[in-house]
Chains A and B, each alone.
Chain A
Amino acid sequence: MSTTVSTGPGPAQPQAPDRPSQRRSARPARRPVRKLSFRTRLRRDWQLLVMCIPMVVLLSLFHYLPMLGHTVAFQDYSPFRGDSPIEAYLESPWLGFTNFADLFADARFWTAFRNTLVIFTVQLIFFFPLPIFLAVLMNSILSRRIRSTIQTIVYLPHFFSWVLVVAFFQQMLGGAGLIAQIMHRLDTDGRWGIEPINVMTNPDTFIALVTSQVIWKDAGWGMIVFLAALTQINPNLYEAAASDGAGPWRRFWHITLPGLRPVIVLLLILRLGNALSVGFEQFILQRDFVGARAAEVLDTFVYFVVFGGGGSFSYGAAAGLFNGVVGLILILTANKIAHMLGQDGIYRKTA
């Protein structure tokens, strides 16, 4: 079997055609571009196009079409007018940029905006690198059994809902939680002046609290992508580097990190695109613990301006649209910067 495969095409090909291909590879970027006609390209690619159709339909129906609904941000929209949702939309009067003008004059909005950006930045610095290091550490464990056990344990919290995570933190660190109780027991007569901690209701440490919750819940899960990327690195490189005398740090710096770079950049850009939505549930659950000034983020702001009394769909939509536009600008900018640094980013235009 193996002989027929390897020898099969070999002798059939003459030497001569090799030469032009060698010439082409000498200047790879400058391929003479002759534009193929639409018909030719269609004939060539039609299977690929057919394969794309379901996804295109799905995206248009459930993503692009609903996006038209963002236009209610420019209306005084009431979904209860007319005889159908479409009539309600058509009958709602247009306001132009009134909702946005109100939004930018709203102190609550700027509180939420500031909180969101601060929380995002802190999480970018303290949460984002963790899965990378966790993946590298995990990768260095040789025993398959130990590795898969640890992996399972660190993945697990990802599958808990935020309600559960917050309740868990409350039961542990809250004012009536386990740790506070132990402290009370240790110091029943107040002799040592032990003050029970209550980090759950302290607005000053709220950022640290939510960041540690995110780390506890999702660091293990975030590791998966990097573990997959690590398997793509050729192990021969490590052997070669080791035999040339490179220590673990040098191997990490010169082999592991460059190998992971495309994935890191990709995830970083996607993360930036979501900069203005740091999560809804985690914050709405803990908003009352520390008050709106520390815990109001844009997602909870949008919720309250619609459902918090005296709400307006249009006002909420305006805030949501603002989030989306800022996210889009961030993602495009980050991608551009990635290109300038020679990375692929999330996409690259091809000729």
Chain B
Amino acid sequence: MAGAGALAFASGGLLTACAERQSGQGGAEDVQQFEHLVPRYVAWNGVQLSEADLIPGQTSPDGFQSPPGLLRYPQQVVRAVAEPFGKGNTYTSMTPLWAPPPDFPNDYFNAIIERWGTTIEFAPRDGIEYREIVTTVLASQDHPHITMIPGWEINLIPNIQDAIENLFADLTPILAGDIAERWPLLANLPTPAWLEAVFNGKLKAIPQVEGNPFGDPLFVRADILEELGMPYPKNADELLDLGRELTSPANNRWAFGNMDNAIHQIFGCPYQDWRVEPDGRLVNRIETEEFKAATEFLRTLYDEGLVHPDNAGSAEADMKPAFRSGEVVMRIDGWGDWTEALGSGILDDNPNYNQQPMDWFAHDGGEPTVWGRDPAWAYSFLHKDLSREQIEEILDVMNWVAAPFGTEEYQLHQYGVEGVHFEFNEDGQPVLTEQGSAEAGQAVPTVYFLGGRPPEPIAAGGDWPGYVQSRMDWNARHLQYLKPGIFAGIKRIEPANLQQANRSLDDKLEDLRRGRTPMSEWDNIVAEWRRTGGDEGRAFYEQALANRENQAGSSE
């Protein structure tokens, strides 16, 4: 019971006036105390990848692990779940998809459902508008049995804490402790990811595991730099010079696409926006000299016209096509952009195409700042009205989906049925057939977004020369720089006022970067941010950090 008090939400300013909004206060909880609420980790060793093809991952002194690399697709895949397990029931689901919706049912989905004995009515929804869709569906309280919500959306859904508490089943009684006997593949998911799925002291979801510890990389078109004989920059001045040399509007080439978070890292701005100063004060990035310097640097890039004009117009503009065509040489994006580009067959059109993550450097040439990322990136919630038997049947499905790389299950939902949806090429790499591209292809996430998958090795998805080696080398060079975020292990939903203040701040920062407001406005902008929610956010996080400290103290 002592735990119950400690896991009460750290509220940012509890006000009791009757006409004050009570919702949107946010919540932060220390996840370490929740280990008894989540499945006990039991490694599943059903797959043994060939040592010869494996580049081992590494562990940093700070405990960060980089995934292993695999040079060749396994010659033999292992079947992890022997028999269909379902009771023939039908369940509904909702997952995001950033691609045209697949036809349903089709041979690909039917083959998988046949293996389950449980029918899932897949309903992939437009990923771009997913926040609006999921909010509306939840507000109807007529939501599907399985609802997957990405982590970056969950904070932005109004009153999401009510939804998590009230609309979804508490999985703690079913999943806490030892589950390896019934669901060995779910027990194989790493504990930090499970801890992220604890909301308000209850295990509420199955997490999508983030196997890659590194934040978004700064991609560069290495082939263009090589062709022009330009070296990689090692500090901010060299980056600026390189930008000037590369940019040539007459040749339809600009040095930079979206650079905001790349420049923030180069200038050493705090990961996750906050940091504790030596004097113990918690400060936001907006209050640091580094962030101001980074903003001024970005302003210079825009001012000199080094950023692609379409991006200069909009931070959210999609720079993927411009980067792939060579109109843009450098930009920050998710790691998936790399595999996506290679998977799109770009090497057939341009054999010289060489996309690489640039090595991080500090603006003054010192030790680089490398941002990490949270151990889970999405959560699958189950409907509260499901009975225990129904939840168990769905967890059987999730267990199947959690089969790791190298299993036959993984191969089935990733590539479809051999001979129908894919065939092995001479290197033993599965390659989609025409039917496979149409039915599986871009629709593949519809299946594995249902529940979590364990971290998987870095492997090529086709004939991608040098990809695995180059990524493993980059990881090896950067692992030592990963530092635990100051909120590591704190599950947090920020107070509404802080989020609103940040939203408003983003607009003003955009005006500053693009030279629409003078830099002299800086102090006013900071003051406004503090007044409208920034200071409330600071109090909220100070409380959360203090709670973690107390927790650590009392458990010793």
Contacts and interface: CB of A to CB of B under 8 A. Distances in A.
Interface of A: 76, 78-85, 88, 93, 95-96, 98, 108, 170, 174-177, 180-181, 184-185, 188, 196, 198, 200-201, 203, 288-293, 296, 304-314
A110 to B, nearest CB: 13
Given A198-B309, A306-B158, A312-B496, A291 B516 contact: yes
A114 to B, nearest CB: 15
Contact of B310 (A84, A85, A175, A290): A175
Interface in B18-36: 19-24
Interface of B: 19-24, 131-132, 135, 138-141, 155-160, 162-163, 165-167, 249-250, 252, 254, 308-310, 312-317, 322, 327, 494-500, 502-504, 507, 510-511, 514, 516, 533
A291 B162 contact: no
30 contacts: A76-B21, A78-B23, A79-B138, A80-B141, A80-B162, A80-B165, A82-B166, A83-B141, A85-B140, A95-B19, A96-B19, A175-B309, A175-B313, A176-B310, A180-B309, A188-B250, A201-B313, A288-B313, A292-B510, A304-B503, A305-B500, A307-B132, A308-B499, A309-B503, A310-B497, A311-B156, A311-B500, A312-B21, A312-B158, A314-B21
A76 B156 contact: no
The 10 closest A-B pairs by CB, nearest first: A175-B309, A310-B499, A310-B496, A79-B139, A288-B314, A309-B499, A78-B159, A80-B162, A80-B163, A311-B158
B139 A170 contact: no
A309 B516 contact: no
A219 to B, nearest CB: 26
A80 B503 contact: no
Contacts of A203: 516
B155 A78 contact: no
Contacts, number: 143
A310 B167 contact: no
Contacts of A288: 313-317, 510
Given A201-B312, A291-B516, A310-B499, A196 B249 contact: yes
A310 B498 CA distance: 7
Residue with the highest number of chain A CB atoms closer than 10 Å, among B21, B139, B254, B495: B21
Contacts of B499: 308-311
A306 B500 CA distance: 10
A174 B313 contact: yes
Nearest to B21: A76
B510 A310 contact: no
A111 to B, nearest CB: 10
A79 B159 contact: yes
Given A176-B308, A310-B499, A311-B500, 20 more contacts: A76-B22, A80-B138, A80-B159, A80-B160, A95-B20, A98-B19, A201-B313, A293-B507, A307-B135, A309-B499, A309-B502, A310-B502, A310-B503, A310-B533, A311-B157, A311-B496, A312-B21, A312-B23, A312-B496, A313-B159
B360 to A, nearest CB: 27
Contacts of A181: 249, 252
Contacts of B22: 76, 93
Nearest to A99: B21
